[in-house]
């Protein structure tokens, strides 16, 4: 383990969770696997130094607490602060959708897998929106399959979440300018332009994910410069992606294109698009997912 690791193998949190190994050093936090002495199972522990400038775990714990017991959300066992770090203990998940896609020979998911995981991803996004929060970092590495149920998708990483409603459940007034949040490859044009993000921006990131799942890359995948990527996204003819895809993807694009900051997306309509594609093409719920093939 490196010098900057906050925890080491053998460390004990609250006399209950024993660190067994590091599994990720994300953007802001570090992720470890730990053994839960009480439940006698492995869990995931996310920690961040409480002296680092950007603190995300407090927000993550707030959001995860409010969104517990939803189908595509992992369980939060504990969250708190100690003298040196902030921590949260949650369900240990399996591989992310980013890893699963890259492990495939063709680097693409099939239409059947993409459409069926889309229903799960949409449900996860709708869940967070329904409690008044935006995710603001929707991307394939923030969705993972379960370890026990590899057919279930879970949403991760609420460190960039933001409340978009006020105490009255009304949409908060948009700030004239907001700092860039998210990940360049999946950020919406609004994010590139430092605009206040709304529910539709999470869906734009979801749309970019879908294209990457099906085609294997995005036209700006290799470009690192935020302004250049923003410019391509702003001028790109998105229908070019769609020529070989079911017409429902075009309808998805049309819907998100019509939405403004205040608008509530029509999640039922988007769900119906995925369902009608699935039905028409003869796919079934119990078909295997691409990562289940040997
Ligand atoms: P950051 O906010 O630092 O980006 P994330 O929460 O996105 O951190 O986690 C980074 C990576 O760690 C994820 O892409 C995933 O691979 C892994 N990870 C995060 N949470 C879990 C979990 N509950 N179970 C298993 N792996 C996880």
Per residue, the 3-state secondary structure of 119-145, as one string, reads HHHHHHHHHHHHCCEECCCCCHHHEEE
- The answer to whether 47 touches 32, Cβ cutoff 8 Å, is yes
pLDDT tens string 198-215: 999 999 999 999 999 999
Establish whether residue 44 lines the binding site of ligand 1, counting it when its CB lies within 6 angstroms of any ligand atom. Answer: yes
Rounded to the nearest whole angstrom, what is the distance from the C-alpha of residue 256 to the centroid of ligand 1?
28
| Closest ligand 1 atom to Cα of 26 | 3
Taking each helix axis from N to C terminus, what angle separates 199-215 and 111-130, rounded to the nearest 10 degrees? 160
Mean pLDDT of 89-109: 97
Establish whether residue 24 lines the binding site of ligand 1, counting it when its CB lies within 6 angstroms of any ligand atom. Answer: yes
Rounded to the nearest whole angstrom, what is the distance from the C-alpha of residue 166 to the centroid of ligand 1?
29
pLDDT tens string 127-156: 999 999 999 999 999 999 999 999 999 999
Using pLDDT thresholds of 50, 70 and 90, give the confidence band for residue 4. confident
User: Which residues are marked as active site?
Assistant: 137
Establish whether residue 28 lines the binding site of ligand 1, counting it when its CB lies within 6 angstroms of any ligand atom. Answer: yes
- pLDDT at residue 172, rounded to an integer: 97
CA distance 265 to 277: 20
pLDDT tens string 148-195: 999 999 999 999 999 999 999 999 999 999 989 899 999 999 999 999
Cβ neighbours of 13 (radius 10 Å): 21
Establish whether residue 86 lines the binding site of ligand 1, counting it when its CB lies within 6 angstroms of any ligand atom. Answer: no
Given the DSSP bridges, would you call strands 162-163 and 153-155 parallel, antiparallel or unpaired? unpaired
Q: How far apart are the first and last CA of the chain?
A: 33
């Amino acid at each position: 383990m490196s010098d900057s690791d906050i925890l080491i193998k053998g460390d004990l949190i609250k006399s209950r969770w024993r660190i067994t190994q590091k599994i990720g050093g994300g953007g802001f936090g570090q992720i470890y696997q730990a053994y839960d002495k009480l439940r006698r199972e492995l869990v995931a522990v996310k920690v961040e130094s409480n002296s680092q400038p950007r603190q995300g775990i407090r927000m993550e714990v707030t959001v995860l607490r409010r969104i517990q017991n939803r189908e595509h959300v992992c369980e939060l066992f504990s969250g708190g602060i100690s003298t040196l770090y902030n921590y949260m203990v949650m369900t240990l998940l399996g591989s992310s959708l980013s890893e699963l896609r890259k492990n495939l020979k063709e680097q693409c998911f099939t239409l059947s897998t993409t459409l069926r995981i889309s229903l799960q991803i949409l449900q996860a996004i709708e869940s967070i929106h329904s409690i008044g929060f935006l995710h603001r970092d929707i991307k394939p590495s923030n969705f993972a399959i379960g370890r026990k149920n590899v057919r279930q998708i879970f949403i991760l990483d609420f460190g960039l979440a933001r409340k978009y409603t006020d105490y009255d459940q009304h949409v908060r007034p948009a700030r004239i300018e907001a700092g860039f949040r998210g990940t360049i490859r999946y950020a919406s044009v609004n994010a590139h332009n430092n605009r206040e993000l709304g529910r539709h921006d999470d869906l734009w990131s979801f749309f970019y994910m879908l294209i990457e799942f099906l085609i294997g890359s995005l036209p700006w995948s290799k470009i690192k410069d935020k302004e250049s990527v923003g410019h391509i996204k702003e001028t790109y003819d998105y229908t070019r992606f769609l020529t070989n895809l079911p017409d429902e993807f075009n309808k998805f694009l049309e819907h998100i294109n019509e939405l403004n900051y205040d608008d509530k997306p029509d999640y039922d309509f988007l769900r119906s698009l995925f369902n009608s594609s699935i039905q028409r093409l003869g796919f079934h719920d119990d078909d295997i997912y691409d990562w289940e093939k040997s």
